[in-house]
Amino acid sequence: MRIVVTGSLAYDYIMNFPGHFKDHILPEKTHMLTVSFLVDSMRRMRGGVAGNIAYTLALLGERPLVLASAGQDFGEYRAWMTAQGVDASGIAEIAEEFTASCFINTDLANNQIVAFYTGAMSYSKDLTLHGLGLGPDDLVLISPTDPDAMARYAREAREIGVPFLFDPGKQTPRLSGEQILDGVNGARMLIGNDYEFAMMAKATGKSEAELIASTPVAVVTRGAEGATIYTEGRELHVPVAPVGHVADPTGAGDAFLAGFAFGLARGLSLEEAGRIAALAAAFCIEQKGCQEHHFTLEQFAARYAEAFDRTLMQSEGLGAQSPITSPLFV
């Protein structure tokens, strides 16, 4: 069994401005705005949805295959992924492009000015699931990347007959209603936060209830309120895992999806998959950056027991790879 993760790969350039943006912007001159901010720190961090999801899956003992495109500057990132146990053989490096990059400048009031360069990400639409030897015992995660690529992967997953999960995420505003419905068509699970579900409903003309009912499982994350799993007319509540402190919530959704997909792949119940997802997200948000958290399987199991007053044994799925046994994938 393999888990294939599709989605973006990116570098995040995090900068901090030791002042307030508003003090340097003249309201009466915004028609000819030219500003420059001297920052006092910058960090380059590995990111992108596919990279984030694959990293957490690897921490849980998986060896996910990433299908994505990156640029000429990806060498260090590829080496990092391989060292963490991620299969990077499906990543195409585009020699004439740079890896997608997000430039984030934050002031003292936590206001942000963000610029995103798609770079090599636009080439992901040329990649294919065909030829990977996938079948009904494998799992494909379709996560945010180039909209045409997302549509292609959903179509190919249906053609191959491989189960797939659809996670439109931050690309939801860019997807047409037709593209969203195409991604949902045949998906075993639809996942997003409550705002993204509202946007999907607006784009498709469907109600949120209709979207939820369109896949065997739908998961709506609700921040500090946890998540709701919808399946077979039932609603299952997933509580958040206790967090020591919130350092950066940015990658929480990616870690959550990784944990949930892992639970499904191990044949665990939806409730247990949800709790694993919640705990994976908790580990993530306690660190600055989407791939800065770390845990051993023993640490994960111990914290799971403490958070949920339940035991998660390695024999129930942690660590050892095994075929998908969840009823969703039979």
The domain ranges of the chain are 1-20+42-162, 222-316
**pTM to 2 decimals?**
0.91
Q: What is the structure's pLDDT at 313?
A: 57
Q: What is the structure's pLDDT at 152?
A: 97
Q: What is the structure's pLDDT at 189?
A: 97
Sequential DSSP letters for 223-281: GGG-EEEEETTEEEEEPPPP-S--S--TTHHHHHHHHHHHHHHTT--HHHHHHHHHHHH
- Catalytic sites, residue numbers: 254
How far is the C-alpha of 197 from the C-alpha of 256, rounded, in Å? 16
Q: What is the structure's pLDDT at 130?
A: 98
Q: What is the structure's pLDDT at 319?
A: 55
Q: What is the structure's pLDDT at 32?
A: 85
Domain at 1-20+42-162, CATH from 3.60.21.10, 3.40.605.10, 3.40.1190.20, 3.90.1170.50: 3.40.1190.20
Closest-CA residue to 102 (of 208, 5, 8): 8
Tell me the pLDDT of the chain (330 aa) as tens digits. 899 999 999 999 999 999 999 999 888 878 888 889 999 999 999 999 999 999 999 999 999 999 999 999 999 999 999 999 999 999 999 999 999 998 999 999 888 898 989 999 999 999 999 999 999 999 999 999 999 999 999 999 999 999 999 999 989 999 999 999 999 999 999 999 999 999 999 999 999 999 999 999 999 999 999 999 999 999 999 999 999 898 888 899 999 999 999 999 999 999 999 999 999 999 999 998 899 999 999 999 999 999 999 887 554 555 544 444 444 544
CA 265 to chain centre: 17
Helix, strand and coil percent figures for the chain, each rounded to 5: 40, 20, 40
Helix (H) or strand (E) holding 106: strand 100-106
Domain at 222-316, CATH from 3.40.50.620, 1.20.1250.20, 3.40.50.300, 3.40.1190.20: 3.40.1190.20
Q: What is the structure's pLDDT at 249?
A: 85
Q: What is the structure's pLDDT at 322?
A: 45
Do the domains 222-316 and 1-20+42-162 match in fold?
Answer: yes
